[in-house]
Chain A
Amino acid sequence: MSPESSAPRSLELERHRPYLLRFALLQLRDRGAAEDAVQDALLAALQGVTSFAGQSSVRTWLVGILKHKIIDSIRKTSRERPLEMRAESEGAEDLETFFVGDGHFSEPPEEWVSPERSLEERRFFEVLERCLQSLPKNTARAFTMREVMGLDTEEICKELGISTSNCWVMLYRARMSLRACLERTWFLAGAAKAG
Chain B
Amino acid sequence: MSLRLSCKEASRLISQGMDRRLSLTEGIALRLHVRICDACTRFTSQVKFLRRALKAFPGPDDHEGR
Interface residues of A (CB under 8 A from B): 15-16, 19, 22-23, 26, 57-59, 62, 98-99, 102-105, 108-112, 115-116, 118-122, 124-125, 128-129, 143-144, 146-148, 152-153, 167-168, 171-172, 175-176, 178-179, 182-183
> Complex: how many Å from CA A59 to CA B61?
11
Interface residues of B (CB under 8 A from A): 6-9, 11-12, 15-16, 18-20, 38-39, 42-43, 46-47, 49-61, 63-66
Query: By DSSP majority rule, is chain B's interface helix, strand, loop, or mixed?
Result: helix
Instruction: Check B11 against A104 for contact (C-beta < 8 Å).
Output: no
Q: Which of A23, A108, A175 contacts B57 (CB 8 A)?
A: A23
Query: By DSSP majority rule, is chain A's interface helix, strand, loop, or mixed?
Result: helix
Instruction: Check A112 against B8 for contact (C-beta < 8 Å).
Output: no
> Complex: how many Å from CA A119 to CA B53?
6
Instruction: Check A115 against B49 for contact (C-beta < 8 Å).
Output: yes
Q: A98-B8, A128-B57 are in contact. List 8 more A-B contacts (CB 8 A).
A: A104-B6, A108-B39, A109-B39, A109-B42, A118-B53, A152-B19, A172-B11, A175-B18
